[in-house]
Amino acid sequence: MKIFGLLVVMAAAFAVAYPIATSAQLSWYPIGDPMNEPHVQELGAWAVAEHVKQVHDGIKFSKVVSGEEQSDAGVKYHLIIEALNSGGEQGRYEAILIEEVRSYTRTLISFSPAK
């Protein structure tokens, strides 16, 4: 029992000395030339389609104009997307999504008009 207690104390000390990085602590890295990156454009089109599935507002994807990424348990993307709204007017939208390469899954975290 004493060994178990010692292990708990050691684990707690290790956790304080070496905290696990959260996504808030990870650095964002710019995507070099998103307009010429087919995968980034595909992600932008997917984000718009996923948003439309959720809210049915008829936005139509045009292109990803800028973005940044961070790696953790997958790749998290912050994209600025140009799209046409239901009235046919061009607008900019901000999308945050995670792509998990191993499981072939994508999750849209947020989608909103860009500020």
Q: Is 26-113 assigned to CATH 3.10.450.10? A: yes
What lies within 8 Å, CB to CB, of 74 at 6+ separation is 98, 99, 100, 101, 102
80 pLDDT more than 90: yes
Q: What is the pLDDT of residues 4-36, one digit of tens each?
A: 443 333 433 333 333 444 445 789 999 999 999
Phi, psi of 27, rounded to the nearest 5 degrees: -85, 145
Start-to-end CA span in the chain (Å): 57
Q: What is the pLDDT of residues 42-74, one digit of tens each?
A: 999 999 999 999 999 999 999 999 999 999 879
State pTM to two decimals.
0.77
Length of the chain: 115
Report domain extents, the chain. 26-113
